[in-house]
Amino acid sequence: MCARLCHDLVGPVGGVVNGVEFLAEDGMGDDALQLLADSAARAARRLSFYRLALGAGGNPDERVAAGDLSAALAGYFTDERAGLDVIAWPSDGNVLRAHGGIVLCLAAISAQALLRGGTVTIAWRTTVEGGSVSVVAEGGAMRLPETLVPSIEGRIDPAALDARTVLPFMVSEMAAAVGGRLAVATDWSGADLRRLTITGDLPVFTARAGVSSLERTGETGP
């Protein structure tokens, strides 16, 4: 996970460094300041997103404003090739933070699969019993690591994880911790992946939840 975070932050932080170097050169003041501003804003967007997606609260019933999650999601996609289409989002003022983190992570995973752009479509609906989410990635050129599906579904040996699959595995553990389950479907056209769909049931946390997906299934690998 550290490798993933470093990958996402090295670009904007490097931009800040370049901006400082430009400031030391005559005639580069305005360009350097713009580079600094853009890079700092990008880093802030990424940090805000990961704080909400992965920040652990001490209370499983902790809630967060749905608007804050929406803003973090929009900020994340500002720096992605993929576009974002939200067709359903909680109207309640506050939602379970654990559920919000799962939805944000699924959106990031889906965006990673779109190499040359495309669209990530999110439908997140909540009820008093919990909720459900569907995240669909569609594009002309998509990449799907062989271990991504078993990682999301919690069917992989943690020792086999790498920078590309650690976030999918983490989100499977996050879903299992609230008693939820994630499933993946893929649509292919010959050898080309055209659509990736991730769905999940997100029940309200109960005392029976809180075990990992590996513990629930008894599986350690594909």
Task: Kindly write down the DSSP assignment for every residue of the chain, as one continuous string.
Answer: -HHHHHHHHHHHHHHHHHHHHHHTSTT-HHHHHHHHHHHHHHHHHHHHHHHHHHPPPS-TT-EEEHHHHHHHHHHHHHTSSSEEEEEE---SSEEEHHHHHHHHHHHHHHHHTBTT--EEEEEEEEETTEEEEEEEEE-SSB---TTHHHHHTT-S-GGG--TTTHHHHHHHHHHHHTT-EEEEEEEEETTEEEEEEEEEE-PPP-TT----HHHHH-----
Same domain, 104 and 188: yes
Domain match, 42 and 144 both: no
- Answer yes or no: is 222 within a domain: no
Residues of the chain with pLDDT under 50: 3, 6, 207-222
Q: What pLDDT score does 25 carry?
A: 64
Domain that holds residue 131: 63-217
Q: What is the pLDDT of residue 109?
A: 95
pLDDT at 218: 43
> What is the pLDDT, as a whole number, of residue 28?
59
pLDDT of residue 127: 86
Q: Is residue 118 part of a domain?
A: yes
Does residue 202 lie within any of the structural domains? yes
Same domain, 67 and 43: no
pLDDT for 107-146, tens place per residue?
Answer: 999 999 998 899 999 999 998 888 999 999 999 778 888 8
**Could you give the number of structural domains in the chain?**
2
Which CATH number covers residue 98? Answer: 3.30.565.10
Predicted local confidence at residue 128, as pLDDT: 83
CATH of the domain at 10: 1.10.287.130
Q: Could you tell me if 29 and 75 lie in one domain? A: no
Q: Are residues 132 and 163 located together in one domain of the fold?
A: yes
Model pLDDT for residues 16-41, shown as the tens digit of each residue = 666 666 665 655 567 767 777 777 78
If asked whether residues 133 and 83 sit together in one domain, one would say: yes
* The pLDDT value given to residue 146: 85
